């Protein structure tokens, strides 16, 4: 079993759809755990969205994605409140966590510690506070981190040097050695269709950046943990 930590409903598909499809076809058991699945955010909403309705729409999009995969792939929701519901106007991480954020990290750490599978967590590119929280929580199970994935669409709009800088920062701070691995190479032709299953979250530039990075790398890049320092 591989545990994929997805900050929001859509991140696993946007960032790892080809990898998940590949592993699904190889019958590798996968569980996608979405952390901040309570949200009233719609990319094309008018700002007065009804929370329950948005959660319903977003989980239905995930369900459509699940139907493209081997039925053995599990979807799990921790139903934590996303950043806007915790009072964030903008979701950029500002170098320190609020008390509510720290509580979210503790919840996630407890969840990960209750399991024993290898974990794939976001790298934290784009600096979205919820993505950074997931990344930090994964540090609590450092001997089980299998890899970090590049957060899309964010990774598609920042220079390569900035991605490498983030990898270097993580290596220095966590003393984990990370090596790049391009995954899902034979499934790249499916990515556009799979991402399009999340219309409520697709801002106009998202798909373009996701596909730009996919074509540039000829797959999805994971940073695999090589050794524990
Ligand atoms: Zn996200």
Q: In this predicted model, what pLDDT tens digit does every residue of 165-208 receive, in sequence order?
A: 999 999 999 889 999 999 999 999 999 999 999 999 998 899 99
C-alpha distances in angstroms, 76 versus 62, 142, 164, 209, 218?
Answer: 11, 21, 31, 27, 29
pTM of the full structure:
0.95
Rounded distance from Cα 151 to ligand 1 centre (Å): 8
Predicted confidence (pLDDT) per residue in 137-150, tens digit: 998 898 899 999 99
Rounded distance from Cα 12 to ligand 1 centre (Å): 9
DSSP state of 47: S
Backbone angles phi, psi at 211, to 5 degrees: -75, -30
Secondary structure class of 8 (helix, strand, coil)? coil
Sorted by where each begins, the domain ranges of the chain are: 2-228
Near ion ligand 1, which residues have CB within 5 Å?
A: 7-8, 11
Q: Are strands 220-228 and 176-183 parallel, antiparallel or unpaired?
A: antiparallel
Q: Which CATH superfamily hosts domain 2-228?
A: LmbE-like (3.40.50.10320)
C-alpha span between 7 and 196 (Å, rounded): 19
Secondary structure class of 98 (helix, strand, coil)? coil
Rounded distance from Cα 128 to ligand 1 centre (Å): 7
């Amino acid at each position: 079993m591989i545990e994929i930590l997805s900050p929001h409903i859509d991140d696993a598909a946007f960032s790892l759809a080809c990898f998940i499809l590949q592993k699904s076809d190889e019958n590798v058991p996968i569980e996608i755990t979405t952390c901040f699945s309570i949200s009233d955010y719609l990319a094309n909403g008018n700002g007065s969205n009804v929370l329950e309705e948005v959660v319903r729409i977003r989980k239905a999009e995930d369900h459509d994605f699940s139907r493209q995969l081997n039925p053995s792939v599990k979807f799990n929701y921790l139903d934590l409140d996303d950043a806007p519901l915790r009072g964030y106007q903008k979701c950029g991480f500002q170098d320190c966590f609020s008390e509510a954020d720290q509580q979210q990290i503790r919840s996630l750490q407890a969840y990960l510690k209750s399991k024993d599978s290898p974990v794939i967590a976001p790298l934290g590119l784009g600096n979205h506070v919820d993505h950074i929280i997931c990344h930090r929580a994964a540090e609590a199970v450092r001997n089980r981190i299998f890899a970090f994935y590049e957060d899309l669409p964010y990774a598609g709009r920042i220079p390569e040097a900035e991605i490498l800088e983030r990898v270097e920062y993580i290596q220095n701070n966590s003393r984990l050695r990370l090596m790049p691995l391009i995954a899902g190479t034979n499934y790249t032709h499916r990515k556009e269709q799979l991402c399009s299953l999340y219309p409520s979250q697709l801002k106009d530039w998202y798909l373009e950046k996701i596909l730009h990075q996919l074509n540039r790398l000829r797959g999805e890049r994971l940073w695999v943990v090589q050794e524990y320092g």
